[in-house]
Copies of this chain bind each other. A is one copy, B any other.
Amino acid sequence: MTLGIAVIGTGRMGADHVRRIDSVISGARVAAVADLDAERAKAVASGIERCSAHTDPAAAMAAPGVGAVLIASSGPAHEAALLEAFARGLPVLCEKPLTPDPAGALRVLEAEQRLGRRLVQVGFMRRYDAEYQELQRTLEHGELGRPLMLHCRHRNAASPSFFTTEMLIRDSVVHEVDATRWLLGQEITAVQVLRPRPSSHAPQGLGDPQLVLFETSGGAVVDVEIFVNCGFGYEVRCEAVCERGTASIGGSGGLRTRSAGRAGRDIPQDFTIRFADAYDREVQAWVDATRQGRVEGASTWDGYAAAVVCEAGVRAQETGERVRVQLAERPALYA
B232 touches A295 (CB 8 A): no
Residue from the set A200, A236, A284 with the largest chain B CB neighbour count within 10 Å: A284
Q: Which of A34-42, A51-59, A121-129 contacts B (4 or more CB under 8 A)?
A: A121-129
Closest residue of chain B to A280 (Cβ to Cβ) is: B24
Whole-angstrom distance from the CB of A216 to the nearest CB of chain B?
9
Check A48 for interface membership: any CB of B closer than 8 A: no
Interface of chain A, helix or strand or loop or mixed? Answer: mixed
Of the A-B pairs whose beta carbons lie under 8 Å apart in the complex, a sample of 21, sorted by A's number, is A28-B283, A28-B291, A91-B286, A94-B303, A98-B302, A105-B303, A108-B303, A117-B295, A120-B295, A124-B302, A128-B279, A128-B281, A149-B225, A157-B269, A191-B313, A191-B323, A194-B213, A200-B243, A223-B223, A232-B258, A263-B264
Tally of chain A residues near chain B (CB < 8 A): 178
Which residues on the B side are within 8 Å of A282 (C-beta)? 93, 123, 125, 127-128
In order of increasing CB-CB distance, the 6 nearest A-B pairs are A253-B253, A264-B264, A98-B303, A197-B219, A233-B267, A105-B304
Across the interface, A277 reaches (CB within 8 A) one of B113, B130, B314, B316, namely: B130
CB-CB contacts of A126-167 with B at 8 A, as 1s and 0s?
Answer: 111110100000000000011011010000110000000110
Check A77 for interface membership: any CB of B closer than 8 A: no
CB-CB contacts of A241-268 with B at 8 A, as 1s and 0s?
Answer: 1011110000011100011111111111
A325 touches B187 (CB 8 A): yes
Whole-angstrom distance from the CB of A226 to the nearest CB of chain B?
10
A281 to B128, CA, bound (A): 6
B231 touches A245 (CB 8 A): yes
Closest residue of chain B to A253 (Cβ to Cβ) is: B253
Check A88 for interface membership: any CB of B closer than 8 A: no
Whole-angstrom distance from the CB of A295 to the nearest CB of chain B?
4
Q: Known A170-B314, A220-B197, A232-B258; judge A149-B118 contact (CB<8 A).
A: no
B267 touches A317 (CB 8 A): no
Which residues on the B side are within 8 Å of A324 (C-beta)? 189-190
